[in-house]
Each structure stands twice: as C-alpha cells, then as structure tokens.
Amino acid sequence: MSLIRKTAAELGSMIAAGEVSAVEVAEAHLDRMAEVEPKVKAFLHVDREVTLEQARAVDARLRAGEQLGPLAGVPIAHKDIFTTRDMPTTAASKILEGWRPPYDATVTARLREAGLVILGKTNLDEFAMGSSTENSAYHATCNPWDLTKIPGGSSGGSSAAVAAYEAPLSTGTDTGGSIRQPASVTGIVGMKPTYGGSSRYGLIAFASSLDTPGPFARNVLDAALLHEAFSGYDPMDSTSIDAPVPSVVEAAKTPDVAGMRIGVVKEFAGEGYQAGVLARYHEAVQLLESLGAKVVEVSCPSFTTALPAYYLIAPSECSSNLARFDAMRYGLRVGDDGTRSAEEVMALTRAAGFGPEVKRRIMLGTYALSSGYYDAYYGQAQKVRTVIAREFEAAYQQVDVLVSPTTPTTAFAIGERADDPMAMYLADLCTIPSNLAGNAAISVPVGLADEDGLPVGLQIMAPVLGDDRCYRVGAAVEQALESRWGGSLLSKAPEL
C-alpha cells in the first residue's frame, strides 16, 4: 500500500521504527497534492520547501533520541484560520491577504511540539462563515467524491484534503457544525471537542463563545490521536477548561457499546431530510442495537429553535470580533491617499475586504445588538441557548449519548444554494445545538445515500467532557461497518 493510503497511526509507527523517514512521507503527500490539487482546490497556501524543512527537523529530533508523540512525522493540513509564523494566515479573506502572523496559535504550536508536519493552509468559508466553502475570497473547494459538489463548510478545504488522500489528518474549527458537516459530506471522521477543551488562542475569532478547534481523519483512532495531541488546558485562553483531556485514544481502541444507552433525538429525523440519509441513519441505529446498546427515543423540543437562536448569537459575536479589522493596524488598506479621514479609509477597506456573507452577518449582528433590539433578539436567543443546554442535561440523565443524522442531506451542487442563505443555513440544523450547549459531538461515515451515491454521516453527541464516549461509540460503528464493507467507506470513492 502506498504511503498516502496508510493511516496516521500506521505512518507514525513506521516513522518511529525507522522504516520510512518523515521526509519520504511528506514528499509522498506533496506529490499527491501536486496531482489532485488542480481538481480539488483544498489548499490556499503550500510551500514545499517549508514543509520538507519541518520534516527534516522531525527526522533529526528522532535521530537524537527525542521522545515525540505517536504522530511524529505525520503530515497534516492546517485550516487557514490558525495563525502560523512561517506561512500566511488569511481566514480566506481579502482583508488579510498575505498577512504573516508573528506568532503561532496554541494548536499550531502543539502540532509542532508533537512532531506533525504541516503541509499547508487549507481553504474555508471566509472567517469560517458558511457551510460550503464557496464563501472563500479565493476559490471554491470541490468534494473529492463528486467535483461538482461542495465539500461542506466552513472547514471544507480540510475535509477535502483528507478525503482526497492529500493528507492523513487535518485541523478544523466548529462554530455551528463546521467540522462535522464537512466530515459527513466527504465520508470521513470529524470531531467537535467540548468547548474549552481545545485552545482558541491564535484562532481568528468568528464567535468566541462557540468556536472550537477539532480534528479530521479517515478513521476514529487517527482523529483521537490528533485530538489528544493538540487539546488540553491553555492559560492563554480564558475559556480553556483546566481539566485533563478525556481518554479519547483509549476509548477509540475500545469499540464496545454493550450496555450503553443510546438516545435517538426525535426532532432530528423527519420532514426535510433526504430519504437516503434517513435510511443510512436508521440502519446505524439498528446496528448499535445489534451490538448490545439499548436504544431509546429522546425528545428535545427546543432543538428546533437552535437554528434561529444561533443565527442571532453567532453574528452578534462576529460583528464585535470583526471590528478589529479596521485598516489601521494590519491587513488590507484601501483609499489611504492622504486626503481621506480614518473613518473613510476604514469604510472603504471593509467594503472591499469583506465578502457578502461576512457583511450579511456583521449587519445582522450589529442590528441584534443595537439599542432597543438587544433584549428582543440577542437576549432572547441567549435564553433559548440556556433552555437547549438544560434539555441536553436532562437527556443525559437518561442516556449515555445522543445520535442523529449529521446533516439533513448529502453534498449539494456548487452554486445550488449560493443565492439562498436560509437553505444554506439548514445544512447545520442537526449540529448547532451541540455548539450552543458546548458539549462534544462527532460525525462518522455510515454509508452512501441511494439517490446519489454520496456519503452520509452519523452524529454522536455526548455531555461536556464526555468526548471519550463519542470515540467509543464511533469506533464501534466504524469497526462493524468496515467489517461489513470490507474496508473503509473512502475505498468506495471514485478515483480523482
């Protein structure tokens, strides 16, 4: 098997044993990128020499006897919303085009400490605002299963890179489903850790009370290994949880759901869901029952109000966070010819630098926070958020995890929803409640929809700091299905 087809765990073991060098592994993936990138367009920035320099440094550390983690030397694609001192960080926005940060994000630093080799920066919806990666200021990314389809968003570049075998691992951020939804539509594993379980320091903020870094991988164990590598308390992040990282790797190696109580969310499997998505979802629930889990229906009525609440809270935080892009300190500056005031330069710069979706959310958030409307909109949305969190807490008194489809449909066509924001927002219908409550959730592939042959994901949700439960259940589903399929779901994908 070629190096690009091996799992991250296998590559890490081979590099540690001296069977292959980090440089050789990096070169294999860079060559794959050169082959398929013109079709997939997953990356915004690649510098072959910078990547190989990192790989040579890892090989030198290993030769010197340094004890590195199990992913040392393994390549990774990094979402272009984490700051990187040796590569540009743009958040896929023209307002940050070419910006080279003077520091690494905590996630970036921990990847380097663990010996992972960053292949490049991946594409995303501008400032992580979107569900299709069409909102990037640079280009749309394509789904490797069908190049006419979207790879999900906002972390679509990261999901596409893993699904296309350009990288065995990648990073993403999940604000309303931006890891789980792309994972679902590209047939890979994507995890949203508990909010505060992974550091936001150096992550360009969209919505500070929601943004959560997490891993993408082609299997559950690889995702757990990456999760463990970059998670944990960070004093640089005031919302970071000062508690041990849940035992996610051990859980991924223990795919046993016998005796577990699985809650089926009643509100997430009705009208508006694609028939093929529901068919694979119900099969996955039956599979869990056959593996010894007890399945019960759970009703969480407020989950149906999560979408409108989210689209008041997230834009409100976005309007505040993006005020820092003012043309005064860094990034784009338009109209500064010496004749205009600072306010005029700021207005011209923001008009030129922000895309339509970012402007839409800034305006919506500014309105929701404005005098006379704050209590009616933002305040009410926060009350809904509290009710959702309480319904989760009540549900977890009855069950160990909750399950639902990850997204109501498979990947839609590029351009299909570009002029219909409401239709686009519905892609995150099932994922948003976990962001509002701050709990853990994972998407694992469970098959292909009959209508279009595209991947379907199962979402597994667990309580705050119950991340290990997500991996345990996900690994059980993965093991059973791959035994049935005779390999991973990605092995059924068409060749690029």
Catalytically annotated residues: 79, 154, 178
Residue 133 and residue 229 in contact, taking contact as beta carbons nearer than 8 Å:
no
* Residues forming a β-bridge with 172: 214
Centre a 10 Å sphere on the Cβ of residue 254 and count the other Cβ atoms it contains: 14
Residue with tokens 């789980």: 180
Residue 150 and residue 42 in contact, taking contact as beta carbons nearer than 8 Å:
no
DSSP state of 343: H
In whole angstroms, how far apart are CA 267 and each of 264, 343, 393? Answer: 9, 47, 16
Nearest residue to 161 via CA among 48, 47, 30: 30
What is the torsional sign of CA 313, 314, 319, 322? Answer: positive
Token digits for 272?
Answer: 């508006």
Token digits for 331?
Answer: 């990034």
DSSP conformation letters of 293-338: PEEEEE--GGGGGHHHHHHHHHHHHHHHHGGG--SSSSS---S-SS
Centre a 10 Å sphere on the Cβ of residue 458 and count the other Cβ atoms it contains: 28
Dihedral angle, C-alpha 320, 199, 226, 156, nearest 10 °: 0
Nearest residue to 223 via CA among 442, 473, 446, 482: 442
DSSP conformation letters of 387-429: HHHHHHHHHHHH-SEEEEESSSSSPPBTTTTTT-HHHHHGGGT
Q: How many helices (H) and strands (E) does the chain have?
A: 16, 11
What is the torsional sign of CA 6, 8, 13, 17? Answer: positive
Residue 273 and residue 400 in contact, taking contact as beta carbons nearer than 8 Å:
no
Residue 440 and residue 182 in contact, taking contact as beta carbons nearer than 8 Å:
no
Strand order in the sheet with 261-265: 43-45, 117-122, 75-79, 169-173, 213-217, 189-192, 440-448, 455-462, 401-405, 261-265, 294-298
* Residues forming a β-bridge with 192: 441
Token digits for 432?
Answer: 């948003």
Sort 495 into a burial class: Cβ within 10 Å, 0-12 / 13-18 / 19+.
Answer: exposed
User: How much is the CA Rg of the chain, to the nearest whole Å?
Assistant: 21
- Would you mind telling me the total number of residues written for the chain in this entry? 496
